[in-house]
């Protein structure tokens, strides 16, 4: 197999530069697609307007005159004969081109035209003449020392010498079905398009290939997972479980019951559970998870529940303790700030099995933690954990069942791709008695109204969250900070109400103390950065005020809004912003997290939904699942059909597809 260094022109220096931008193989190189194309269109001088940026080709008519200025600046002037007349050209700081710009040479000039002086001030000169009416020039991500031209040369050299060896992952039947060009031709075109029609045609083909490969992988892994049948063998004492469920002080919703059934089925089934529990904030996922943990316990295994923050882990732990009151089930809380001597005890209990359930942050997956017989792993708000961390926790048990909980509903496209290998339980129905949260959009100039709305809610004995994007003043930003809000609120409410702050940079002990005080209504106004975004449950808090709301994605705003409306009283959410009204009005109108996440996704892409780690997992070279949804659906259908089709067993492409998965996964 030829290597990158075998490509003509690629020496040790360029090799290391290519490596620097993630290109290690010939395949990486030829699929280093342009991130955009510059379209150079031949221009008619007569039609250009004063000040237009134009691209024009012609022959040099006069010897360029070079002028040098102070500070190393220089300028060249010459005349250019074009099809539509002669024009003057000046260009700055290209003295090094002078020797190439001899009279009679054909060049292309890109620049701004001054009609009165009949001069183009050029931003660039290309040393070849457009042969067609338009020229489409690929533009690549490069790095210092590696120019666009180098990149183009290496890619074309590689295609010329090794293009026929590049693997085409689309099986022949689909190539025929869609009349696709072959891989080598497609790559040639994408790197050297002659027309935009051709470019479009091969772009679709290459996107399809990438998505076909991706969906094949997901379907294959799902199939392998099912085949391996590696689930734990267990029986759950249903009578005991039902007795337990009967003691819950509220009636479970239909969706909760359905999710519980699905989880119990998975736990008892021969395969391993790999399930996502999706539901809007406040929809009651936690109790479903707890019941799953009890079921797991009743079949003799340990459970671990992992949360993304200490506040949330502590809250889960306290709720779990309450939930298990009257039982003898031994539980523990393990976070980064657990005292060393307590940690040692907990490690011991987890190892010898005397602790049945442990709740914590990613302290649960540190190397020193060993479990006796971990049977169920639940991660809450899973999108905040990187995939690597998730995998790590799974490895702790022999083959524990896995449940992920997420309050950020995933738009369908993403659900298909990220969670394509998972089963999904949805909780859409809300617990009875919940009222819609009224949402208002206010300008900064209307702050007086906002304070009045806050005051009238405080007078009813309710509590308030106030959110700001920043903690401290920063020189290059005039965003609202929690510190300045505290001053402002103090001024407005005097000593009538206790006001305090929590933010991500505080020591966790201090944070917990204030959260505790807020829970106990010893603090009435809690000013915070988005640390309260996930999970925190204080039913007496009924107003949420968010400053600089335009700084947040809709999904984040929806999560924040979900902090109120947890009790039976009417709740409200006030968004303050002077801009972005159209987007923020979606919040005013919509309260369905699924719809909001779709809208957010349409407007912002997936940036707000997942941490960078996860968006990295999903990075495609050419496809974009936001725009290429139709191709994705087709590729999904085809790849599944292809995987399951017995006639394709032993097929070379199938083997290569599987091979590429196995090398990636190991």
Please report, as ranges, the residues that interact with Mg ion according to CB under 5 A.
Answer: 286, 535
- CA distance linking residue 561 with residue 309, whole number of Å: 19
- Sequence-separated (6 or more) residues with CB below 8 Å from residue 500: 486, 514, 517, 518, 523, 525, 526, 527
198 versus 428: smaller Cβ distance to ligand ADP: 428
Instruction: At 496, list the tokens.
Output: 């009538």
287 versus 588: smaller Cβ distance to ligand ADP: 287
C-alpha closest to that of 359 among 329, 335, 375: 335
Q: State the residue for tokens 């079949």.
A: 299
Rg (C-alpha) for the chain, rounded Å, is 31
C-alpha closest to that of 310 among 285, 338, 330: 338
- CA distance linking residue 392 with residue 524, whole number of Å: 40
Q: Which of 34, 163, 284, 565 binds ligand ADP (CB under 6 A)?
A: 284
Residue 375 binding: pick among Mg ion, ligand ADP, none (C-beta 5-8 Å cut-off by kind): none
Size of the site for ligand ADP (CB under 6 A): 18
The DSSP bridge partners found for residue 460 are none
Residue 157 binding: pick among Mg ion, ligand ADP, none (C-beta 5-8 Å cut-off by kind): none
203 versus 286: smaller Cβ distance to Mg ion: 286
- CA distance linking residue 38 with residue 40, whole number of Å: 6
537 is a site residue for ligand ADP (CB under 6 A): yes
Q: State the residue for tokens 């969670």.
A: 419
Q: State the residue for tokens 């109204």.
A: 449
> For residue 286, what are the CA distances in angstroms to 307, 404, 489, 535, 614?
11, 11, 34, 9, 24
Q: Which of 279, 360, 397, 411 binds ligand ADP (CB under 6 A)?
A: 279
CB of 260 to ligand ADP, least distance (A): 11
Q: How far apart are the first and last CA of the chain?
A: 21
211 versus 313: smaller Cβ distance to Mg ion: 313
286 is a site residue for ligand ADP (CB under 6 A): yes
135 is a site residue for ligand ADP (CB under 6 A): no
Q: Which stretch binds ligand ADP (CB under 6 A): 41-49, 244-252, 394-402, 469-477?
A: 244-252
DSSP-based three-state secondary structure for 111 = strand
287 is a site residue for ligand ADP (CB under 6 A): yes
383 is a site residue for ligand ADP (CB under 6 A): no
Q: Which stretch binds ligand ADP (CB under 6 A): 129-137, 190-198, 274-282, 630-638?
A: 274-282
Query: Please, are residues 107 and 57 in contact by the beta-carbon 8 Å criterion?
Result: yes
CB of 565 to ligand ADP, least distance (A): 10
14 versus 283: smaller Cβ distance to ligand ADP: 283
Q: Which stretch binds ligand ADP (CB under 6 A): 95-103, 187-195, 284-292, 344-352?
A: 284-292
What is the H or E stretch that residue 574 is in?
strand 572-576
DSSP-based three-state secondary structure for 148 = helix
Q: Where are the beta strands (DSSP E) in 235-282?
A: 274-279
DSSP-based three-state secondary structure for 186 = helix
CB of 34 to ligand ADP, least distance (A): 44
The DSSP secondary structure of 520-537, one letter per residue, reads: TTS-SEEEESGGGGSS--
CB of 455 to ligand ADP, least distance (A): 27
Residue 287 binding: pick among Mg ion, ligand ADP, none (C-beta 5-8 Å cut-off by kind): ligand ADP
Q: Which stretch binds ligand ADP (CB under 6 A): 10-18, 114-122, 160-168, 276-284?
A: 276-284
566 is a site residue for ligand ADP (CB under 6 A): yes
Residue 593 binding: pick among Mg ion, ligand ADP, none (C-beta 5-8 Å cut-off by kind): none
CB of 280 to ligand ADP, least distance (A): 7
Binding site for ligand ADP (CB under 6 A): 250-253, 256, 279, 281-287, 407, 431-432, 537, 566
């Amino acid at each position: 197999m030829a290597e990158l260094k075998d490509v003509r022109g690629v020496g040790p220096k360029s090799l290391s530069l290519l490596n620097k931008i993630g290109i290690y193989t010939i395949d990486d190189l030829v699929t280093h697609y342009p991130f955009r194309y510059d379209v150079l269109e031949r221009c008619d001088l007569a039609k250009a307007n004063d000040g237009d940026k134009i691209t024009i080709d012609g022959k040099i008519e006069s010897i360029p005159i070079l002028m040098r200025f102070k500070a190393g600046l220089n300028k060249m002037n010459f005349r250019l004969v074009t099809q539509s007349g002669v024009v003057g050209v000046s260009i700055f700081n290209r003295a090094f081109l002078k020797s190439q710009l001899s009279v009679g040479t054909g060049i292309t000039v890109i620049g701004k035209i001054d009609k009165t002086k009949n001069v183009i001030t050029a931003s660039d000169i290309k040393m070849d003449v457009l042969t067609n009416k338009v020229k489409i020039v690929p533009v690549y991500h490069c790095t210092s020392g590696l120019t666009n031209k180098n990149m183009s040369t290496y890619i074309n050299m590689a295609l010329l010498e090794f293009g026929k060896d590049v693997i085409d992952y689309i099986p022949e039947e689909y190539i025929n079905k869609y009349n696709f060009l072959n891989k080598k031709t497609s790559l040639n075109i994408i790197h050297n398009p002659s027309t935009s029609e051709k470019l479009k045609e091969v772009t679709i083909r290459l996107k399809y290939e990438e998505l076909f490969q991706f969906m094949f992988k997901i379907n294959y892994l799902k199939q392998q997972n099912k085949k391996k049948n590696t689930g734990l063998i267990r029986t759950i004492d249903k009578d005991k479980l039902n007795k337990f469920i009967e003691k819950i002080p509220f009636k479970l919703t239909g969706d909760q019951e359905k999710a519980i059934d699905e989880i119990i089925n998975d736990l008892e089934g021969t395969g391993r559970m790999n399930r996502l529990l999706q539901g809007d904030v406040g929809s009651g996922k936690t109790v479903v998870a707890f019941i799953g943990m009890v079921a797991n316990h009743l079949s003799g295994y340990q459970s671990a529940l992992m949360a993304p923050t200490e506040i949330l882990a502590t809250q889960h732990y306290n709720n779990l303790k309450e939930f298990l009151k009257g039982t003898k089930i031994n539980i523990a809380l393990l976070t980064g700030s657990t005292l060393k001597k307590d940690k040692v005890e907990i490690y011991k209990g987890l190892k010898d099995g005397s602790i049945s359930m442990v709740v914590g942050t990613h302290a649960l997956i540190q190397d020193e933690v060993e479990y006796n017989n971990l049977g169920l792993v639940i991660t809450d708000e899973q999108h905040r954990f990187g995939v690597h961390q998730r995998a790590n926790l799974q490895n702790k048990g022999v083959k524990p069942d896995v449940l992920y909980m997420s309050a950020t509903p995933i738009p369908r496209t993403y659900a298909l791709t990220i969670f394509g290998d998972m089963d999904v339980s949805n909780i859409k129905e809300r617990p009875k008695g919940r009222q819609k949260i009224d949402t208002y959009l206010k300008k900064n100039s209307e702050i007086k109204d906002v304070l009045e709305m806050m005051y009238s809610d405080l007078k009813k004995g309710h509590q308030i969250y106030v959110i700001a994007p920043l903690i401290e003043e920063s020189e290059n930003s005039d965003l609202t900070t929690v510190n300045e809000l505290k001053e402002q609120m103090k001024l407005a409410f005097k000593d009538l109400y206790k006001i305090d702050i929590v933010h991500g940079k505080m020591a966790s002990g201090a944070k917990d103390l204030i959260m505790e005080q807020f829970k106990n209504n010893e603090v009435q106004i809690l000013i915070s950065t988005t640390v309260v975004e996930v999970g925190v449950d204080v039913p007496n808090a009924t107003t949420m005020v968010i400053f600089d709301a335009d700084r947040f994605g809709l999904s984040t705003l929806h999560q924040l809004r979900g902090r109120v409306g947890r009790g039976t009283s009417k709740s409200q959410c006030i968004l303050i912003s002077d801009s972005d009204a159209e987007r923020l009005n979606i919040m005013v109108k919509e309260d369905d997290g699924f719809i909001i996440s779709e809208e957010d996704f349409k407007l912002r892409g997936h940036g707000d939904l997942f941490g960078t780690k996860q968006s990295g997992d999903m990075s495609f070279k050419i496809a974009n699942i936001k725009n290429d949804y139709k191709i994705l659906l087709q590729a999904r259908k085809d790849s599944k059909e292809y995987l399951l089709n017995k006639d394709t067993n032993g097929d070379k492409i199938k083997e290569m597809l599987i091979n590429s998965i196995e090398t990636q996964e190991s």
